[in-house]
């Protein structure tokens, strides 16, 4: 019976892939599927949500599927209070299954999970970059872990960029949003879109996060001129997936506290309002004013009125 079920699933995936494989957009264009579901400590349950949403994203002709922070593993300190007895073997097995699925469906996947380290080192809180060829091409490790994160995780030390159909992508995780230096560096690296995965779920009603997280991302998008895909767990109470354009506006978002996929299209040739474009390069280089400054004692002496 198990063999029969696997055979049916395999045949269904082949049909989906045969229908859509090879249907790619023009260079510079990208269709993103930003996904949310109620992440839990049940790795297998998380996997089934992820599998279903990758298939749905492919049917909707997405090029890349973006999941939230710790989507497969569950989030330490919230979904589980300890990593003692954590089922690493199951996590690794199901990660391999997702990599195989990406290969079968010819689709990019950004997967949030824990990444085990050796000895007594705490794991990384990571985003895996999985290619349509079924390869793990890179891994971003959350650089800024909160004080509670540090009880379970080791912080990362590197940026990650990769290209999909001529679009340069960068990765960040949750609390990284508090550090504008990270976004500036991604601007310097030429990113067109930032995929930022969050876990702001299972909160008390009245939490400030649903209000401050999207608007903080809007400011980072506008000041650096890139698209942003924001994903989150949909376990109540949470805030939903958002897609932000380079002018800092919210193009679309999902309803909160439900399972769903937000489909968004990027065209890097599209023009958006960019107030700081003229002087951004100077500011990045350390010239923190516009135009040419003057040398005048009435300017330099700030204790008199002329």
Q: Tell me: pLDDT of 67 over 60.
A: yes
Q: Sorting pLDDT into bands at 50, 70 and 90, what band is 20?
A: low
Sheet holding 64-66, edge to edge: 136-141, 124-130, 108-115, 64-66, 29-36, 260-267
Three state DSSP letters for the chain: CHHHHHHHHHHHHHHHHHHHCCCCCCCCEEEEEEEECCCCCCHHHHHHHHHHHHHHHHHCCCCEEECCCCCCCCCECCCECCCCCCCHHHHHHHHHHHHHHHHHHCCEEEEEEEECCCCCCCCEEEEEEECCCCCEEEEEECCCCCCCHHHCCCCCCCCCEEEECCEEEEEEEHHHHHCHHHHHHHHHCCCCEEEEECCCCCCCCCCCHHHHHHHHHHHHHHHHCCEEEEECCCCCCCCCCEEECCCCCEEEECCCCCCEEEEEEEECCCCCCCCCHHHHHHHHCCCCCCCCCCCCHHHHCCCCCC
pLDDT of residue 2: 38
pLDDT of residue 306: 83
Cβ contacts of residue 275 below 8 Å, gap of 6+? 222
pLDDT of residue 1: 44
Could you tell me whether strands 29-36 and 64-66 are parallel, antiparallel, or unpaired per DSSP bridges? parallel
Share of the chain above pLDDT 70, in %: 92
Residue in 67, 95, 77 with CA at minimum distance from that of residue 197: 67
Q: Tell me: pLDDT of 8 over 80.
A: no
Q: Tell me: pLDDT of 24 over 90.
A: no
Domains of the chain as residue ranges with CATH: 8-276 (3.60.110.10)
Q: Tell me: pLDDT of 9 over 60.
A: no
pLDDT of residue 13: 60
Integer angstrom CA distances of residue 286 from 178, 188, 282, 283, 294: 21, 13, 6, 5, 18
Tell me: the pLDDT tens digits for 135-192? 999 999 999 999 999 999 999 999 999 999 999 999 999 999 999 999 999 999 999 9
Tell me: the pLDDT tens digits for 96-149? 999 999 999 999 999 999 999 999 999 999 999 999 999 999 999 999 999 999
C-beta atoms surrounding 108 within 10 Å? 24
170 phi/psi in degrees, rounded to 5: -130, 160
C-beta atoms surrounding 82 within 10 Å? 10
Which sign does the torsion angle of CA 247, 249, 252, 258 carry?
A: positive
Average pLDDT over residues 194-219: 95
Q: Tell me: pLDDT of 211 over 60.
A: yes
Encode 229-265: b = buried (16+ Cβ within 10 Å), e = exposed.
bbbbbbbebbbbbbbbbbebebeebbebbeebbbebb
Which sign does the torsion angle of CA 33, 57, 87, 79 carry?
A: positive
Integer angstrom CA distances of residue 7 from 4, 14, 16, 278: 5, 11, 14, 58
pLDDT of residue 26: 86
pLDDT of residue 10: 56
Q: Tell me: pLDDT of 18 over 80.
A: no
Average pLDDT over residues 233-246: 97
Q: Sorting pLDDT into bands at 50, 70 and 90, what band is 299?
A: very high
């Amino acid at each position: 019976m198990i063999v029969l079920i696997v055979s049916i699933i395999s045949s269904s995936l082949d049909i989906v892939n045969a229908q859509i494989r090879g249907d790619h957009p023009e260079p510079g264009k990208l269709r993103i599927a930003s996904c949310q579901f109620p992440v839990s400590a049940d790795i297998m349950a998380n996997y089934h949500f992820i599998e279903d949403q990758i298939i749905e994203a492919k049917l909707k002709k997405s090029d890349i599927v973006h999941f939230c922070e710790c989507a497969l593993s569950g989030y330490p300190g919230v979904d589980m209070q300890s990593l003692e007895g954590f089922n690493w073997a199951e996590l690794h097995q199901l990660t391999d299954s997702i990599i195989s699925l990406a290969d079968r469906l010819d689709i990019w996947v950004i997967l949030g999970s824990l990444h085990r380290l050796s000895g007594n080192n705490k794991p990384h809180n990571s985003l895996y970059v999985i290619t349509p060829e079924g390869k793990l091409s890179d891994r971003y490790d959350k650089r800024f872990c909160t004080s509670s994160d540090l009880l379970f995780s080791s912080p990362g030390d590197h940026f990650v960029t990769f290209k999909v159909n001529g679009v340069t992508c960068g990765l960040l995780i949750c609390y990284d949003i508090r550090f504008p230096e990270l976004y500036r560096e991604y601007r310097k690296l030429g990113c067109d879109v930032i995929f930022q995965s969050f876990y702001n779920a299972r909160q008390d009603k009245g939490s400030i996060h649903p209000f401050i997280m999207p608007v903080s991302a809007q400011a980072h998008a506008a000041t650096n001129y890139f698209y942003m895909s924001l994903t989150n767990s949909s376990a109540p109470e949470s805030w939903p997936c958002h897609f932000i354009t380079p002018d800092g506006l919210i193009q679309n978002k999902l309803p909160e506290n439900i399972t769903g996929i937000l489909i968004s299209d990027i065209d890097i040739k599209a023009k958006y309002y960019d107030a700081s474009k003229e002087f951004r390069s100077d500011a990045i280089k350390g010239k923190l004013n516009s135009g040419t400054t003057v040398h005048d004692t009435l300017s330099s002496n700030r204790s008199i009125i002329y």
